[in-house]
Amino acid sequence: MTRTTIATIAGAIIALLVAGWGVAAMWRDMGVTLSLHGWIAYGLGAVGSLALSGGLFWLLFHSARSGHDDLERPEDLDG
């Protein structure tokens, strides 16, 4: 991996941790308490959302690159 890739991944992880800390601080200030099961559900929901969006983007790019999105119309073949 290049340094840019490593820096991007590290930045994304840091941003995720800061966002999680911010959510926890906001909830704590509002008096909301969340059990361990609540945090696990919250984390699984976030990971599931990221996995779903990543999978859908992968399908989009794979479909476009493999030619599945190309239009084949008879009037285009006549030249």
Q: Give 9-60 pLDDT, tens digit per residue.
A: 999 999 989 998 998 899 889 998 888 998 899 889 989 999 999 999 999 9
Question: What pLDDT is stored for residue 73 in this prediction?
Answer: 67
Question: What pLDDT is stored for residue 79 in this prediction?
Answer: 54
- Rounded Cα–Cα distance for residues 33 and 39 (Å): 10
- Rounded Cα–Cα distance for residues 26 and 71 (Å): 50
Q: CA-based Rg of the chain, rounded to a whole angstrom?
A: 21
- Give the start-to-end residue ranges of the domains of the chain: 1-32, 34-69
Asked if 34 and 27 touch (Cβ cutoff 8 Å), the reply is: yes
Record the tokens describing residue 42, joined without a space. 């919250």
- Rounded Cα–Cα distance for residues 47 and 53 (Å): 10
